[in-house]
Amino acid sequence: MNLFESDLTLFHACGYILLSILIGRLKKYTTAVLFVALSLVFLHGLGLLLPWFALKGFEFGLLKAVVWTMWLASILVCLEAFFRNIFPRITVPIFFLTGVFTLLDGILPSPTLSNDLGIVFQAHILIAMLSYACLVFTSARAATIHLQENSLREPIIKQPDHSLPSLVELDASLQRLLLITFVLLSGTLLTGILVNISSGNAFLIFDHKTFFSLLAWILIGMIIGGKQFFGWRGRMVAKMTMIGCFLVILSYLGTQFVIEIILEI
């Protein structure tokens, strides 16, 4: 990481932390603050993307993956603020943590990998990482809908959380997250096919990872179609979304378990 990149990292980190403090003290939503937040997220994205596809190689490690994930989370909360005209309560911790991890990434840079892997493979890694992170966020929103609807169905047992958005707003938010997740999962599968073709392999290698990823992709597509054409909503959609997240987890953790444990028996 050169001096210019270090200055940009410090700028982005301080920007997120200052924004988290500003939004935390806001009495009401303002378009100007959202514009500043969107500008910062855009500039941070450029700062992440350009070095990733640089000719000299790209940094990749656990800390870098966390920064990418938090950047995606920042995009999602900005989208929520744009559609709802209010900053979600989670905006302050998301921006603050994004600033902290961005600063740590500048202090402790991740290892640099060779660019011999090819730009398609780099894009595959990046899109896959973002798609799985987005699916986790989507599942968290689905779990919120599930808990809120349960509390409304059984108010004697548990009072609903009135600080949360209405179920209609939560459902609209889930729909947006599902669309973003589906696009990212589609990009993951497409770039995976391109990587296989460029490596001289079959366009699809049906291992455990591919199988569970395809199942998750089909399931998310079914949920979007069901919501659009059949009016699916509520706990059923929430449960199906969380199943999709579980399938993606199985696609990686399950693969390693089968390879390292089951096949060795």
Instruction: Give the pLDDT score at 261.
Output: 44
Amino acid code (one letter) for 225:
G
Q: 10-residue block means of pLDDT along the chain (265 residues)? A: 65 94 87 94 90 74 87 92 88 94 86 72 87 87 83 60 70 91 92 84 72 87 90 85 82 52 44
Instruction: Give the pLDDT score at 259.
Output: 44
CB 68 within 8 A of CB 125: no
> What stretches of the chain adopt beta strand conformation (E)?
58-59, 112-113
Instruction: Give the pLDDT score at 26.
Output: 86
Whole-angstrom CA distances from 56 to 50, 59, 115, 118 are 11, 10, 7, 12
The pair of three-digit structure tokens given for residue 16, joined into one six-digit string: 């997120």
